[in-house]
């Protein structure tokens, strides 16, 4: 516990706060799996282990605090997802083992708990002293859904003695312009026309473009490239509208597996994904090649099994006939 608890000194060299610095917790470091455990058992045990680690660190920090001339705030950190936290698409699902999200009620009674991993700034469990400050820059385009969310910040936390007095967000300037464009191709072309020519400015805007088009366009990427090549933009994300993909999937709902071949099923699954860039097209080619190899290997194995079974059946019939001939 002691390695996670450290005093923080102020400019005068005095202890100004005590930090319980807990990083991202790997399950193998705090729990041992046991045979026969269910998923819920593992989740409960892991949550309890994390809670005990926090409580142990807090107890050590409290003991250290009593040895100081004057009590100071105790601040805990964490890198995990808590129950009810609002995520963005850039947040990877790096949940701890089988623990989907940690219950904030299991945190210790620290004076402030600073959490990381979630990119949106937010208060946790309606508790002003438990917060995600969020990422200092936007890490995905869905973080631009509103002006408030697009504005990133860090928190200045102030204490009076050991009590939390105020949390002030300090806004982080947006050094890289980012924007989301949505619509059909005509609408996208119109929106792109409003950007400056790339030779007229050094400021480049990163774009996410979502195209809603009735017909499936195989040359979508090249069309967008032609529209944007002279503009001061860089298209980082190009996708088709989700409603279009869902409509295509809905049309296939009435199909049954008995009506489809193995290759049909594979093609239907690939149709749900997007392979727009050259790298993605190369990946698609490798996937198809590997799938073809696997199918060939399985078919060859099944053919061998059928041949072996046919041989065994033939031998059994011959043996049966010989026995009947000897008996007569």
Q: Could you give the maximum distance between any two Cα atoms of the chain, in Å?
A: 112
Q: CB–CB of 65/71 below 8 Å?
A: yes
pLDDT for residue 300: 78
Whether this prediction's pTM lies above 0.75 is answered by: no
Looking at the structure, tell me whether residues 140 and 68 fall in a common domain.
yes
3-state secondary structure 126-194: CEEEEEECCCCCCCCHHHHCCHHHHCEEEEEEEEECCEEEEEEEEEECCCCCEEEEEECHHHHHHHHHC
Looking at the structure, tell me whether residues 101 and 145 fall in a common domain.
yes
Q: Which domain holds residue 243?
A: 178-254
DSSP 3-state helix, strand, coil percentages of the chain (rounded to 5)?
40, 25, 35
Q: What does each of the 328 residues of the chain score in pLDDT, given as a tens digit?
A: 788 999 999 999 999 999 999 988 888 888 877 777 777 777 788 888 899 999 999 999 999 999 999 999 999 999 888 875 566 555 554 444 445 678 888 899 999 999 998 888 889 888 999 999 988 888 888 777 655 556 788 999 999 989 999 999 999 988 889 999 999 999 999 999 999 999 999 899 999 999 986 566 778 889 999 999 999 999 999 888 765 555 555 555 555 656 677 887 887 777 767 666 666 777 787 888 888 888 888 877 777 776 666 667 667 766 766 666 666 5
Give domain status of residue 269, yes or no: no
pLDDT for residue 318: 67
pLDDT for residue 95: 46
Looking at the structure, tell me whether residues 161 and 185 fall in a common domain.
no
Q: CB–CB of 3/53 below 8 Å?
A: no
pLDDT for residue 255: 56
Looking at the structure, tell me whether residues 209 and 224 fall in a common domain.
yes
Give the CATH number, domain containing residue 233.
Answer: 3.30.160.720
pLDDT for residue 93: 47
Give domain status of residue 271, yes or no: no
Q: CB–CB of 18/72 below 8 Å?
A: yes
State how far the Cα of 101 lies from the Cα of 177, in Å rounded to an integer: 33
Looking at the structure, tell me whether residues 24 and 166 fall in a common domain.
yes
Give domain status of residue 263, yes or no: no
Give domain status of residue 87, yes or no: yes
Q: Return the number of other C-beta atoms located less than 10 Å from residue 120's C-beta.
A: 17
Which of 126, 154, 172 marks a domain boundary?
172
pLDDT for residue 267: 79
How many domains in the chain?
A: 3
Which of 121, 137, 172 marks a domain boundary?
172
Which residues sit opposite 237 in a β-bridge? 208
Looking at the structure, tell me whether residues 6 and 133 fall in a common domain.
yes
Looking at the structure, tell me whether residues 218 and 73 fall in a common domain.
no
Looking at the structure, tell me whether residues 110 and 150 fall in a common domain.
yes
Q: CB–CB of 73/112 below 8 Å?
A: yes
* DSSP string for residues in 30-99: H----TT--HHHHHHHHHHHHHHHHHHHHHHHHHHHHTSSS---EEEEEESPBTT----TTS----STT-
Give domain status of residue 265, yes or no: no
Q: CB–CB of 234/206 below 8 Å?
A: yes
Give the CATH number, domain containing residue 27.
Answer: 3.60.21.10
Token look-up 């924007």 returns: 179
Looking at the structure, tell me whether residues 164 and 197 fall in a common domain.
no
Looking at the structure, tell me whether residues 125 and 7 fall in a common domain.
yes
Give domain status of residue 270, yes or no: no
Query: Vertex 171, ends 170 and 174: CA angle to 5°?
Result: 155
φ, ψ of residue 177 to 5 degrees: the values are -70, 135
Which of 172, 205, 221 marks a domain boundary?
172
pLDDT for residue 91: 52
Give domain status of residue 183, yes or no: yes
State how far the Cα of 20 lies from the Cα of 50, in Å rounded to an integer: 13
Looking at the structure, tell me whether residues 16 and 153 fall in a common domain.
yes
Looking at the structure, tell me whether residues 109 and 36 fall in a common domain.
yes
């Amino acid at each position: 516990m002691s390695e996670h608890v450290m005093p923080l000194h102020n400019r005068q060299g005095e202890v100004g706060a005590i930090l319980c610095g807990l990083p991202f917790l790997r399950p193998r470091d705090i729990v041992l799996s046991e045979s026969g455990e269910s998923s819920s058992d593992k989740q409960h045990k892991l949550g309890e282990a994390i809670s005990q680690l926090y409580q142990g660190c807090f107890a050590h920090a409290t003991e250290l605090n009593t040895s100081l001339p004057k009590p100071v705030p105790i601040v805990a950190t964490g890198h995990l997802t808590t129950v009810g936290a609002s995520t963005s698409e850039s947040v990877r699902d790096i949940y701890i083992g089988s623990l989907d999200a940690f219950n904030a009620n299991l945190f210790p009674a620290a004076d402030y708990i600073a959490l990381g991993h979630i990119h949106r700034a937010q208060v946790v469990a309606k508790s002003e002293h438990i917060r995600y400050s969020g990422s200092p820059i936007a890490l995905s385009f869905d973080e631009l859904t509103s002006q408030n969310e697009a504005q990133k910040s860090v928190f200045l936390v102030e204490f009076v003695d050991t009590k939390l007095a105020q949390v002030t967000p300090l806004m982080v300037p947006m050094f890289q312009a980012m924007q989301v464009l949505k619509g059909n191709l005509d609408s996208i072309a119109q929106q792109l026309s409003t950007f400056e020519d790339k030779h007229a400015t050094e400021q480049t805007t990163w774009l996410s473009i979502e195209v809603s088009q009735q017909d499936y366009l195989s040359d979508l990427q090249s069309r967008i490239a032609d529209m944007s090549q002279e503009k001061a933009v860089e298209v980082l994300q190009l996708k088709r509208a989700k409603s279009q993909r869902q409509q295509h999937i809905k049309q296939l709902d009435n199909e049954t597996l008995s009506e489809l071949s193995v290759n049909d099923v594979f093609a239907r699954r690939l149709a749900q994904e997007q392979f727009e860039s050259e790298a993605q097209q190369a990946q698609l080619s490798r996937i198809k090649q590997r799938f073809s190899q696997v199918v060939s290997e399985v078919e060859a194995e099944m053919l061998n099994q059928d041949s072996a079974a046919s041989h065994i059946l033939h031998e059994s019939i011959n043996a049966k006939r010989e026995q009947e001939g000897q008996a007569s």
